[in-house]
Amino acid sequence: LPLSRIRVIMKSSPEVSSINQDALFLTAKATELFVQYLATYSYKHGRGKEKNALTYSDLSHTAEECETFQFLADILPKKILASKYLKMLEKEKRDGEVGEDDEEEEEEDEDE
């Protein structure tokens, strides 16, 4: 990984005033090892072996299913079609309206 990019990312933190060259190198190496581990794990536990390729869906499945990589679930969400997403939004909207109507009826019953 480019050390200059890692330095920029590290300096973006307000707590960091100066960066030791050794710390920069070790951060780069640790990042490389983490990415390698994530890719290898995703390849072995995904459909990558069948296709001889690592796909985004393998990575997102790993982030969702493996406890070690749970912190990546928001960064690597599962891909869904726009039509499915719109259907989900409509369903949530309908469920929300039904829930609000039920709450209003309960409040009216309590008032009586």
Summarize pLDDT for 30-46 with one digit per residue, the tens.
999 999 999 998 888 87
Query: Residue 47 sits in which domain range?
Result: 3-95
**pLDDT, tens only, 70-91:** 888 888 887 777 888 888 888 8
The mean pLDDT value of the chain amounts to 81
The whole-model pTM stands at: 0.63
Secondary structure class of 39 (helix, strand, coil): helix
Residue with the larger pLDDT of the pair 2 and 77: 2
**Radius of gyration of the chain from its Cα atoms, rounded to whole angstroms:** 23
What CATH number is given to the structural domain containing 54? 1.10.20.10
Is the residue at 54 inside a domain?
A: yes
